[in-house]
Amino acid sequence: MIQKILLASAICLITISTVKAQDEDRRENFEFGARAGINFSNAWDAKQDEFRADTKAGFAGGVFLGIPIGKFLGVQPELLISQKGIKSSGILFEQTYSNTRTTTYLDIPLQVQLKPAPFLTLLAGPQFSYLLKQKDEFTFGVNSSAQEQEFKNENIRKNILGFTAGADIIIQHLLISGRIGWDMQNNIGDGTSTTPRYKNQWLQFTLGYII
């Protein structure tokens, strides 16, 4: 909830500061562009006792296409490389552990555009994510070999369905974007693993350029 409030506040501040920086009205134009920035990710809906997760930063960037449906509506598909993950700690096999997990996804959001003004676009829609790479850095207690083997045996879900929403501020060809997103499925495929089961959530801030 605090993260959502922070994102909404940031969007409002940017909107107020740029309201006079309007360019020509291009809301009915097809547009292509690229954007890049940073994710602040964490986990939610954990189903593991003694589990604690902290926020982790990672890269986010890719390309997008704006497809108008009239002046005030449109569709915006995107193709992004998105680093997520968590810094977690807990108890496994009655021993403490800590783990820094970096997950690299190919994110494909399909968002509906609401364009109330030439300089402002509101977006929301489903997102399909495919896990490209996962890296774990462990620190275990006494029973380190059994714990590490349990993490290696995780049945990680490769395909995840999620949801994303946010806003784009447009200043001529410059794009300032904010997003919030969360997974609808947890990270474990069949639910049999004893390692933490969680869903990703993230804040994303990027700068972009519209061609």
Q: How many structural domains is the chain composed of?
A: 1
pLDDT score for 48: 65
pLDDT score for 21: 45
Domain that holds residue 57: 2-210
Do 78 and 111 form a contact (C-beta atoms < 8 A)? yes
Per-residue pLDDT of the chain (211 residues; tens, 9 = 90+): 555 545 555 555 555 444 444 457 888 899 999 999 999 999 887 776 667 788 899 999 999 999 999 899 999 999 999 999 888 777 766 667 777 888 999 999 999 999 999 999 999 999 999 999 988 877 766 656 666 666 766 778 889 999 999 999 999 899 999 999 999 988 887 766 667 788 899 999 999 999 8
CATH of the domain at 83: 2.40.160.20
